Structure 1
Amino acid sequence: MRVEMLEDLLLPGPNLMVRQLTTVDGNLVVDAAGCGPPGSCPRCTHPATRVHSRYRRQISELPVGGRGLIVRLHVRRFICDQIQCPRRTFVEQVAGLTESRRRSSPAVRSAMRAVAMELGGRPGQRLCAKLRLPGRRTALMSRLVAPPVPAQAPRILGIDEFAFRKGRTYGTVLVDVETSRPVDVLPHHETCSIAAWLQEHTGAEIVCRDRLMAFTKAIRQAAPGALEVADRRQLLQNLSTAVEKTCRRHRACLRRYATTEAGPPSAAPATPLLDRVRQRHRDVNELTATRHATHEAGPPGMPPCVIGTVGLTTSSPRHATGAQVYSTRSPTTCSTASGPVVRVPCSSTASCLRSATPVATTP
């Protein structure tokens, strides 16, 4: 078909006549009508000769230039003249555009099926809104249909279980190992259902199965000539289980060998970070020892009675150097060899002890 107009490029086909192109709400609307010969009855395949009525259908097509494409198609309803045919009327169909009881073209449904396969429901709906495709969540999920199951099982068949709901409901998946594509899904992982499937689909020469005993019984019942093998994961799991059992059985021997053969613990290698940590640890210990010694001995020249009644304040780092900073609430006096010593509260939060001149006492 030679392309002469834009309508021929958008809607190719000899059985369609485009009447008008308009833009409505950002969508491109094409007003067209079917102009082909009368079709045949889909029930009896007899060609029609009379027109019953006409009506308009609205078909969604793939977007063009970032705009949605809607085809308002005027179609004819024909009469089936065959008396034996139970169907009295039928509607003409435009090849590549319309199908019975469909509001979208085959190309749109194929795109929706691809989006549903990759993204699913709500994510696919958001992508369809950006691509200007008529795809809602339920419409996308309805496009997902089960693929046809081959009549014959693959040469290398893989059988494994999976969980519909972990701990409660399990099913069985059958995979073609050579192509890495799923073949069928069974709602149970019981021996009877797997054996029935293997009897209906013969041809499996090698069966790569799980460790479940139901799979072994089903293969022996339905395919006794097939070779049973385990995949890499099952082999590694069997090996780890056997090693764990052996180690648990000889735990006493391993512990005795470890205590007799073990040498002195090796020292950690010297690193700059380790040297800094050790030096800081020594500095902290020395500082702590100096503070405790100052707290116990008190400042030089302080009488023991004052040391017992005056507590050193630990809120200042000067105490570690022997600073004469103390905590007090009221001035008190005590007798020493050189005379009375008066403890006077300071204006700051800490208190200092000062030596006063001998106080003259009245006889």
Structure 2
Amino acid sequence: MIIFPDLPEILIEQTHVADEITLALRTTSPSASCLNCGTLSMRVQSRYRRTLHDLPSTGRPVHLIVHVRRFFCKKSTCTQKIFTEQLPELCHPHAQRTIRLQDALGQLGLVLGGQAGARVGSDLGISGSRDTILRMVRQHPLPSTRQRERTMRRFQSPGHAQRFLSAFGLISDRFRLKRHYLSAPDYRVLMQRRFQVWNEVTAGKAAA
């Protein structure tokens, strides 16, 4: 069993690797807070499975099978008698994609637009239709005009942007930790470990 380094309350129970990678996950917290009144509950009402699409790994699509629990709210005056535990670091309610996959599609849309973003995303293994990518863009916090201009000045052409995203898009999430969930010492340790792994991988490829 493996714990996600960025998601300490998510546990990997099973892994199946073939043409696609499937991970079975469950939460480790014994309790959850009612969405309506905020009361903590440990009394589980039922469980169900939720399927999420994640960023690809080694060129293979990744699917997450998450075992989600429903809880009874123990506050007698609460109108929400049963509630579902939330996974805010992993996905939004009712979403079929993880937050980081949604962010990747949104970034493609911001840089390339809907149609070109769908084409490049398909090449990168993070396929989404034109309409899906545009929807992700609408949900994505837009940078200021000056920020967008500074970003686009780095690219000489759409082809240059595509080559950059092909190389950087799939690894950028590794170095963008959700810092507000981490203490400063934990953040520094995680970043040091990730840069150490990155240096080992890139040094090995350079030597080859």
- 1:37-90 per-position Cα deviation (integer Å, ceiling 9, x unaligned): 211012211111311100001111111111111111111111112233222222
Q: Percent identity?
A: 27
Counterpart of 1:73 in structure 2 is: 66
Q: What letter is aligned with 1:46?
A: T
Q: Deviations over 1:183-214 (max 9, x none)?
A: xxxxxxxxxxxxxxxxxxxxxxxxxxxxxxxx
Gaps of 5+ in 1: 150-174, 183-363
Unaligned 5+ segments in structure 2 are: 150-208
Pick one of 5, 14, 19 that aligns with 1:20: 14
Indicate conservation of the 8 Å contact 2:34/2:73, yes or no: yes
SS in 1 for 2:122: helix
Match of 1:91 among 84, 87, 103: 84
Deviations 1:5-38 (Å, cap 9, x if unpaired)? 8x44x664332222211135x2211112222121
Ranked by relative contact order (alpha carbons within 8 Å, sequence separation 6 or more), the top structure is 2
Q: 2:50 aligns with which of 31, 37, 57?
A: 57
Question: C-alpha deviations, 1:230-251, integer Å up to 9, x for none?
Answer: xxxxxxxxxxxxxxxxxxxxxx
TM-score (norm 2): 0.61
User: How many residues matched?
Assistant: 148
1:36 equivalent in alignment to 2:29: yes
| Max Rg structure | 1
Flag the 1:134–1:74 CA change in 2: closer, same or farther, 3 A: farther
The structure-2 alpha-carbon separation of the partners of 1:82 and 1:28, relative to structure 1 and needing over 3 Å to count, comes to same
Quote the offset at 1:101 in angstroms. Answer: 1.4
Alpha-carbon offset, residue 120 of structure 1: 1.9
2:110 corresponding residue in structure 1: 117
Distance in 2 between the 1:81 and 1:97 partners? 26
Conservation of the 8 A alpha-carbon contact between 1:14 and 1:36: no
Alpha-carbon displacement from aligned partner over 1:248-280 (angstroms, at most 9, x marks no partner)? xxxxxxxxxxxxxxxxxxxxxxxxxxxxxxxxx
Structure 2 counterparts to residues 191-270 of structure 1, below 5 A? none
Distance 1:132 1:148, change over 3 A: closer
- Cα distance in 2 for partners of 1:128, 1:95 equals 25
Which SS does the other structure have where 2:137 is aligned? coil
- In 1, the alpha carbon distance for the partners of 2:7 and 2:29 equals 10
Equivalence map 1:1-363=2 (5 Å):
7-8=2-3, 12-24=6-18, 26-145=19-138, 179=146
Deviation at 1:126, TM superposition (A): 1.6
Question: Which structure features the higher share of helix residues?
Answer: 2
Paired with 1:22 and 1:180, the residues of 2 have a C-alpha distance of: 42
CA–CA separation in structure 1 for the residues paired with 2:147 and 2:114:
25
Cα-Cα RMSD: 2.8
Q: Alpha-carbon deviation of 1:146? A: 7.6
Aligned to 1:248: none
- TM-score, with length taken from structure 1: 0.37
In the alignment, residue 140 of structure 1 is paired with which amino acid?
I
User: CA–CA distance in 1 between the matches of 2:148 and 2:13?
Assistant: 48
User: Matches of 2:21 and 2:125 in 1, distance apart?
Assistant: 11
Runs of 4+ displaced beyond 3 Å: 146-149, 179-182
**Residue 99 of structure 1: CA displacement?**
2.5
